[in-house]
Structure 1
Amino acid sequence: MIETYSSLAAVDPWNQGAPRMLGPEIYGASAHKPFLYAIPTVGERPLSFRAEGLPPGLHLNPQTGHITGRATAEGEWRIRFEASNSHGRAERELEIRIGQGLALTPPLGWNSWNAWRRWVNADHVRQAAEALVSQGLAARGYTYVNVDSCWQGARGGPRNALQPNRKFPDMKGLAAGIHARGLKFGLYSTPWTKPWGCSDAEALAEWGGPPLMGSTSGERDEDPAYQSMRNSLVFGFVPHDRFVGKIKHEAEDVAVWTAWGMDFLKYDWLGTDPVSTERMGRLLRQASRDVIFGICTDARLKHAETYVRWCHMFRGIQDTADDWPWLVRNHFNADEVTNEDWRPYIGPGHWYDLDILALGPQFQDQTSTRPNKLTESEQIAHMTLWAIYPSPLILSCDLTKLSDFELRLFANEEVLAINQDRLGRPAWRLSDLGEAPRDGRAPRRLRAYARELAQGRLALGLFNLGESEDTAELDFRLLKLAGTVRVRDAWARRDAGRCEGRLAARVAAHGARLFVLTPENGGASIP
């Protein structure tokens, strides 16, 4: 029996001791476009970096560990990095693939929505970038700093592109400051004429207007491709004032936003139709810089081939919230709600997005955030599902006010390594380990997910959706495992012993356990 651990493993100080190099083992970018990759490394500063075998056109800054330049050829390179300081040195290999796609592992970063809603401004975004570095999250691979809705102002400039409102007086300068930290910059838009975010009255009160605008305008485009999307599987009927307009501005918007330095675009609309998806995806593919393209909130499995071709992230469920019953209905039970199996379409370069994380301090009003409403066990279950799925891990909270628990939750290197595993295999829901109600008692609500990892290992997530602590038992035959299996507790960052034939572990109510299984007689596979 593997007992319940009462707390998460402590986080090693990111700027103390000998260097350790972290992050994914594989990274993708395009040829002839600006390249930026900051080698995730913990250890006392200053650090000194060396690299052998970089693609032609790329250069390493030995003081910052930032790789920049423009790759001049497509191909695959195995790079050996070294980081050293007064306490020692560390080595690590990274495979850089040029011209073979982006987002070869799920993107990690931050988004403004759950932290600041319509009140987001340039200072909030700048502070989030600073906090990713100062909290040691950037040193563990968190990269993207994304502005959600309510940055938009009026159309203007030489290209008549969507400009920022007065809360963002220098978008290009903001992006440049984020890039200087080795981080990347993201924006939000929609193919609708009017995005989600706030009402016209709120826009007037908050930044003096104009109302929010999308990347189309004019009257409703009556093309049948859009009209078939008037009903949403997730939300029901699409509001009458949300539609794709006849006048398309995507080309002008992409040209200007990438000139500012945009590296990520969240494109949000109900219907999430393949025509709008391809139109924007094609423009981003042709843009002057690499841009991660994520779409939501009504992606449907019947359009999966289009999404995989043109997007890096796609979502077909409602937004997250720090509410346990909502997480169970919207995320743990999403397969039943939508009756869709996305696993064949999950892998390097294309990820099913469970949405931004509803963890950490959440928005309260214009000037403050509030503590998270989820219990610690519920937050562990939330992060565990996203990590093993694997979903992009996009934090959305006030990073300047993280508790010790929240830092342990976000910065666990073994949990992040599971999410970032180079194989990019999806998790499989193995079974519900519960039982039907008997004698008036509530049913047990235990669930198991497993995912193949590199080097013949498996990640195993055990979830207890019930109201009391329980024991989850798993027969290793479900995983085609035979013989002795070494068990590593990822959240506790400690070895949990050896098991043969089965694993039994205590799981807190509304909680989760996350293990890495290593067969001693060779690799394993999920049926």
Structure 2
Amino acid sequence: MKLKLTLLMFLIGAAVYAQVPKLAATPPMGWMSWNIMSENPNEKDIKEMADAMVNSGMVKAGYQYIFLDDCWQGGRDNKNNIIADPKKFPSGIKALADYLHSKGMKLGIYSDAAPLTCGGYTASLNFEEQDAKTFASWDIDYLKYDYCNAPEDVETAKKRYGTIAKALRKSGRDIVLGICEWGPREPWNWGAQVGGQSWRTTFDIRDKWMDIEGKGGVGIYNVVDKMAGLASFSGPGKWNDGDMLVAGLHGTKGPSSAFNGNGCTKAEYQSQMSLYSILNSPLYASCDIRKMDDEAKNIFTNAEIIALNQDVLGKQAERKIKTDIWDVFLRPLANGDFAVAILNKSASTQNAKVNFAELGLADQYEIKDLWQHKMIGKNNKWTGEVTAHETKVFRLKKV
């Protein structure tokens, strides 16, 4: 009987383990080079950024990756192996990966599903297996795969992303694949099937709250509003990706400042962190970590907010209430708690009154405010002020 029980427990454990994806079981977290370094990513600055991430407490908080974006490439050698620009990376990419790994971090790299990248640099079309083996030999941990200079149709995108995914799996190294075709081909419908672990849901985000006129430059709320309808596609090993966190940029000149990306308020930056966390987006900062202010540091390193994003259940929040003023999201957590986010979309302070029963929660709950880091009562509702574009985030524990 004891032997049978032991065998049963082993089989149950094996079944649970088999359900945990090998890659990106929780949303990746890190820092991306594009907004600060743009077309000049380089070894010196990347190493300094890694050091700053360690010293600021970001690595301890869970930000493992540095994502090396476009413009690192130096063409191909006489055997058609892709190489790094020797002026930007004199020690080579493998040495950079070794440096990051020595600090408990990981290195992501960038390529494109066409002959040339968005910046006009060497990309991977027709060299997928060769490039995947090269990335593996450099000990790369993640590949952001862009879609500039590629055909617009869905089937070609599925084929090209499937090809690179298979090449990565054959490379001999576990490398996460981030699909970056910006949403027009609805990659949430097929991204996981072709082998991706995440997919961008919109075009590049800018340092602003919202694009109102549709003239270009996606803002924070545009992304949130898009991802709010995609909860059914998200889960362990398959994430809706909202693009970079813009906290700390404050209108910094560069890619993020295009299309009137002139900066956001503290409440808006904090809302992006809150809503991306509850919606399971990968979290990657993009300001200069070496110079970031305490406001940005406190936003990035809020352990209780990060815990929602990294919750092992991996259940994306659903938007339960949507009005002209309010968005209210509900998310179940692995230990039986719930997370509730209440966003005031208006341009002025509003009084909120949210009955948890309207969200499907019939019990009484201990309510913890995750930005104030304190218990604020036991109830089945919450009433209070929410400032313009602020998001209140509560963790509810049944009592």
Using structure 2 for the length normalisation, give the TM-score.
0.85
The 2-side partners of 1:328 and 1:129 are apart by 26
- Which residue number corresponds to residue 320 of structure 1? 205
Cα 1:428–1:138 change in 2 (3 A) is same
SS in 2 for 1:401: coil
Q: 2:164 aligns with which of 269, 280, 289?
A: 280
- Which residue number corresponds to residue 364 of structure 2? 484
Once the two structures are TM-superposed, the CA of residue 462 in structure 1 deviates from its matched residue by 0.8
**1:466-521 alpha-carbon deviations (Å, 9 max, x no partner):** 11111222222233222321100111111111112x2223111021111111121x
SS in 2 for 1:454: coil
Whether 2:398 is the aligned partner of 1:508: answer no
Contact 1:151 1:164 in 2 (8 A): yes
Cα 1:433–1:498 change in 2 (3 A) is farther
Once the two structures are TM-superposed, the CA of residue 289 in structure 1 deviates from its matched residue by 1.2
Residue 311 of structure 1 aligns with an amino acid whose one-letter code is G
Q: 1:352 aligns with which of 212, 217, 240?
A: 240
Matches within 5 A, 1:35-114: 100-114=21-35
- Which residue number corresponds to residue 45 of structure 1? none
Residue 117 of structure 2 aligns with an amino acid whose one-letter code is P
Whether 2:336 is the aligned partner of 1:446: answer no
**1:51-104 alpha-carbon deviations (Å, 9 max, x no partner):** xxxxxxxxxxxxxxxxxxxxxxxx969xxxxxxxxxxxxxxxxx9879842111
- Which residue number corresponds to residue 206 of structure 1? none
Q: Identity of paired residues, percent?
A: 31
Once the two structures are TM-superposed, the CA of residue 365 in structure 1 deviates from its matched residue by 6.4
Whether 2:178 is the aligned partner of 1:310: answer no
Once the two structures are TM-superposed, the CA of residue 133 in structure 1 deviates from its matched residue by 0.7
Matches within 5 A, 1:302-451: 304-326=189-211, 327=219, 330-334=222-226, 341-361=229-249, 363-364=252-253, 373-434=263-324, 445-451=325-331
The 2-side partners of 1:120 and 1:302 are apart by 28
**1:220-240 alpha-carbon deviations (Å, 9 max, x no partner):** xxxxxxxxxxxxxxxxxxxxx
Residue 112 of structure 1 aligns with an amino acid whose one-letter code is S
Residue 138 of structure 2 aligns with an amino acid whose one-letter code is W
SS in 2 for 1:132: helix
- Which residue number corresponds to residue 148 of structure 1? 69
The 1-side partners of 2:301 and 2:378 are apart by 26
**1:17-48 alpha-carbon deviations (Å, 9 max, x no partner):** xxxxxxxxxxxxxxxxxxxxxxxxxxxxxxxx
**1:354-405 alpha-carbon deviations (Å, 9 max, x no partner):** 1111222375369xxxx98111111111111111101000111111011111
Cα 1:192–1:391 change in 2 (3 A) is same
Contact 1:274 1:307 in 2 (8 A): no
Whether 2:51 is the aligned partner of 1:163: answer no
Once the two structures are TM-superposed, the CA of residue 293 in structure 1 deviates from its matched residue by 0.6
Contact 2:21 2:236 in 1 (8 A): no
Whether 2:145 is the aligned partner of 1:267: answer yes
Where do 5+ consecutive residues of structure 2 fail to align?
1-11, 212-218, 256-260
Aligned residues: 365
- Which residue number corresponds to residue 253 of structure 1? 131
Residue 314 of structure 1 aligns with an amino acid whose one-letter code is W
Contact 1:116 1:363 in 2 (8 A): no
Using structure 1 for the length normalisation, give the TM-score.
0.65
Once the two structures are TM-superposed, the CA of residue 307 in structure 1 deviates from its matched residue by 2.9
- Which residue number corresponds to residue 469 of structure 1? 349
Matches within 5 A, 1:132-147: 132-147=53-68
Contact 1:308 1:345 in 2 (8 A): no
Cα 1:418–1:372 change in 2 (3 A) is farther
Residue 189 of structure 2 aligns with an amino acid whose one-letter code is A
Cα 1:308–1:353 change in 2 (3 A) is farther
The 2-side partners of 1:499 and 1:290 are apart by 46
Contact 1:277 1:307 in 2 (8 A): no
Cα 1:298–1:404 change in 2 (3 A) is closer
The 2-side partners of 1:297 and 1:249 are apart by 19
Residue 360 of structure 1 aligns with an amino acid whose one-letter code is G
The 2-side partners of 1:118 and 1:346 are apart by 32
**1:299-350 alpha-carbon deviations (Å, 9 max, x no partner):** 4447624434501111131111111123256313326xxxx94222210011
* Greater radius of gyration (CA): 1
SS in 2 for 1:504: strand
Contact 1:359 1:372 in 2 (8 A): no
Contact 1:308 1:350 in 2 (8 A): no
**1:430-453 alpha-carbon deviations (Å, 9 max, x no partner):** 11244xxxxxxxxxx211111111
The 2-side partners of 1:302 and 1:403 are apart by 35
Higher helix share: 2
Once the two structures are TM-superposed, the CA of residue 123 in structure 1 deviates from its matched residue by 1.2
SS in 2 for 1:119: coil
The 1-side partners of 2:248 and 2:394 are apart by 23
Residue 83 of structure 2 aligns with an amino acid whose one-letter code is Q
Once the two structures are TM-superposed, the CA of residue 156 in structure 1 deviates from its matched residue by 1.2
SS in 2 for 1:168: coil
Once the two structures are TM-superposed, the CA of residue 192 in structure 1 deviates from its matched residue by 1.3
The 2-side partners of 1:329 and 1:141 are apart by 25
Cα 1:282–1:305 change in 2 (3 A) is same
Once the two structures are TM-superposed, the CA of residue 196 in structure 1 deviates from its matched residue by 1.2
- Which residue number corresponds to residue 179 of structure 1? 101
- Which residue number corresponds to residue 9 of structure 1? none
Query: Root-mean-square deviation (CA), in Å?
Result: 2.4
Q: 2:379 aligns with which of 492, 499, 508?
A: 499
SS in 1 for 2:305: helix
Where do 5+ consecutive residues of structure 1 fail to align?
1-74, 78-94, 198-210, 217-247, 435-444, 521-527
SS in 1 for 2:60: helix
